[in-house]
Structure 1
Amino acid sequence: MGSTDSELALDLSPMMRIYKDGRVERLMGTETVPPSFDPKTNVESKDIVCSAEHDLSVRLYLPRNTHQNQKLPLLVYFHGGSFLLGSAFSPGYQKYLNSLVSEANIIAVSVDYRLAPEHPLPAAYSDSWTALKWVASHVNQQGPEDWLNHHANFERVFLSGDSAGANIAHRMAIKHGHEEKLEVVNVNGIILCNPYFWGSEIIAGEIDDISKREKGEILWQVACPSSVGVDDPWLNPAKDPNLGQLGCSRVQVFVSEKDLLRERGWYYAQKLRESGWSGNQEVTDFQGEDHDFHLFKPNCEKAVAMLKSIVSFIELE
C-alpha cells in the first residue's frame, strides 16, 4: 500500500485533485503571465502588493495615452474558478482586461485573492474586501499607488467578475450597501458574467439530474466547508434577507444558453427586482454559448458583443 501522500481524498478532475495529506494538485488554471505593455491595445499593467499580511496582490491596468491627472472610471475585477482555481495573472484575464481597459478607456484593478481549499471561504471575500479598501484609500489622492491617485474617478466605480468572481462582485456590493460602506466611493454598477450562484431548490429550466447537481455542489463544499450548504446566502442570493440593500444603482448580468448556471443568473435578476432594490438592471442571454465563453473565445462575434455591451454600461452617465 502506498503512503498517504499519494492517496486521493477527492478527485475533482479535470479541475484538481486533493490528497489525504492535504496536498492540492491543480490540473488547470495555473498558467500566469507577467504584467507588461500591450502594444495592440496600448494598455500598460503592473503588479502591486496591497496587503503584506497575506501577500495579497493586485494587477493594475492603465491606457498609456492617459493624460496627467486625467480621471477615468475605475473597474475592480475578480477572477473566476469556483474559488478553487485561477489567478488575476492568468493569460486569459490579462488579454481580456487589456481589451476592456482599452475599449472603455478605464483604469482597472484585478484582485488575486487566496484560493480554497488551502484557504477556504470567506478568505476570498476577505481578501477582495481588503483589496477594495486599499483601492478606496486613494480617494483623496494620498494612497500608495500613483496610478490610482492620479487617474481613478471614485464617483464612477464598477465591480465585475466572471463565475466565482461575479459572485464576489455581488458580495462586495452587498457588503458596501449593508455591512461596511466604502466611504466617499460611489459604486455605480456591478457587471456579472456567468455568475456562480446555486441553491437546493430546482428552479424552472434548471438541470434536475441529482448526480450532476451533487457533483457541482461538492465544489462548494470544498470551497466553503463551514457553510450551511448550497442555500447559504453567499451562494444563493435569493436566501439573503439583505439582497435589497445591494450597494449600487445598476446591475448588468450576462448568462449563456449552454451554461449550467444560466437559470441562476436569470433567477438572481428576478429576486433582485422582488427584493425592493430600486436600481436598474439588464440581463443578456447569449444563445449557443457556454460558461465563460468570452474568455476562451475572445474574438468570436458574441464575445465582442459582450465587450461592447460592458463598455456601453460603463460609459452610461
Structure 2
Amino acid sequence: MADQKGSSNEILHDLFAVMKIYKDGRVERLSGTDVVPAGLDAETGVLSKDVVISPEPKVSARLYLPPKIPTGRKLPLLLYFHGGAFVVESAFSPTYMKPLNLLAAEANVLIVSVDFRLAPEHPLPAAYDDGWTALKWAASHAAGDGGEEWLNEYADFDGGIFLGGDSVGANISHYLALRVGSTTEDNSVDGVKINGLFFNCPLFWGEDRLSNDLGTQFIAPFVETIWKIALPEATGLDDPRINPSKDPELGKLGCKKVLIYVPEKDALKHRGWQYKESLVSSGWQGAVEVVEVKGENHIFNLNNPTCDNAIAMLKKLATFFHDSNP
C-alpha cells in the first residue's frame, strides 16, 4: 500500500535481520551500519587509521599497524575484505575492529581492510572492481614511493601480498587472485606477486546441493537471493564467480598457497571443501589446506574473537603469513 508520497511498503526481498529491499527501490539495512573510529588499541598496541584509496568511485580502507616491528625487517601485507553478503558491513564496522587488531598483533602483519561498494546500489562487479583498485594501489608502493607512508616503510613487497577475508570477502579474494593469474604471465600486479589466500567461511554456492542437512536447507534461499541482488544479470548459481568449481580457468589461480577455514556447523563448509578438491584437480601448482573447526558456526571468530578456536586460528595465520614455503 503506497503512502501519500507515492512510496510503497511492499517488500521485494526480505533478508531476515540483514536488509529489506522494497519494490519502489528503497533499501533498509538492518545490520552492519555501525562504525567505530580508528586509533590506538590499548589491549594490543595496534595502531589503525583510515585512508582514501580512490576518490571516484570512492574506495577507502582501514590500516592496522602492529606494535612490534623487527629492526631491519618488514611485515607481510594482508589485503582484507569484509563479509556481509555483498550488501552490508564495512571496513569501519565494530564487527572487524577487535578481530583485526588481534590478527595484526598476533600474526605481526600490516593489514589493509578494504571498504568496497555494496549492492544493490552498486551491483557486481563493483565490489570486485574496488578490490582490484585496492590491490593496484597497494602494489604501487612496492618501490617505496607510494602515497601511504605505512606501506612504503613497513610492507614486505618482496614476499608478496596476501589476500583474504570472511564470507563474501573470501569470494572477492578468490576473484582477484584468479584475475591476476588469468591476465598476467608472471602472476603479479605491477611486479608484485600474490603470495597466498586466506578464506574464512568462504561464500561459494552452486546449483547442486552438496548436502541436504537442515543448515543447507535453511541457508540456500538466502544465498540464492543474495546472488540475485549482488549480480542481477547472473545466469544462475553455477556462474564461476560464485561456483569456482565450474570455472575452466581455476587452475590459473595467481598465488602459491591457500588456507581455508570451514566451521563444522557452517552450511557453507561443503563449498570450502569443494573448492580445495576443484583446485587440486584443476592442475593448479600450489598448496591448499582446509581446516575444519569443530563445534563452531559461520564467522565464529568475529562473533567471539578471543575464544580458544579463534586464538588457534590467529596462531595458524601467523605461521601462514611468515612461512616462505607453500
TM-score, length basis structure 2: 0.93
TM-superposed CA distance for 1:207, in Å, is 6.0
Contact 1:154/1:184, CA 8 A, preserved across alignment:
no
Give 1:152's match in structure 2, choosing from 152, 155, 158: 155
Aligned to 1:315: 322
Alignment of 1:80-99 (within 5 A): 80-99=83-102
Q: 1:206 to 1:249 in 2, by over 3 A?
A: farther
Aligned to 1:304: 311
Aligned to 1:270: 277
The Cα offsets for residues 197-230 of structure 1, whole Å up to 9 and x where unpaired, read as 0000122566697675233211111111011111
1:143 match: secondary structure: coil
Aligned to 1:256: 263
Alignment of 1:24-173 (within 5 A): 24-66=27-69, 70-156=73-159, 157-173=161-177
Distance 1:18 1:282 in 2: 38
1:263 match: secondary structure: helix
The Cα offsets for residues 105-134 of structure 1, whole Å up to 9 and x where unpaired, read as 111100000000110011000001001101
Alignment of 1:202-281 (within 5 A): 202-203=209-210, 213-281=220-288
TM-superposed CA distance for 1:290, in Å, is 0.6
2:296 match: secondary structure: coil
1:154 match: secondary structure: coil
The Cα offsets for residues 233-268 of structure 1, whole Å up to 9 and x where unpaired, read as 000000111100111111100001111101000000
Q: 1:20 to 1:277 in 2, by over 3 A?
A: same
1:75 match: secondary structure: strand
* Alignment RMSD: 1.7
Distance 1:88 1:210 in 2: 30
Alignment of 1:165-204 (within 5 A): 165-180=169-184, 181-203=188-210
TM-superposed CA distance for 1:67, in Å, is 6.5
The Cα offsets for residues 185-205 of structure 1, whole Å up to 9 and x where unpaired, read as 121110000000000012256
Contact 2:68/2:108, CA 8 A, preserved across alignment:
no
Q: 1:208 to 1:34 in 2, by over 3 A?
A: closer
Structure 1: stretches of 5+ with no match in the other structure: none
Structure 2: stretches of 5+ with no match in the other structure: none
TM-superposed CA distance for 1:30, in Å, is 1.0
TM-score, length basis structure 1: 0.95
2:248 match: secondary structure: coil
TM-superposed CA distance for 1:15, in Å, is 0.9
Q: 1:130 to 1:111 in 2, by over 3 A?
A: same
Contact 1:243/1:277, CA 8 A, preserved across alignment:
yes
2:24 is aligned with 1:7: no
Amino acid of the structure 2 residue aligned with 1:94: M
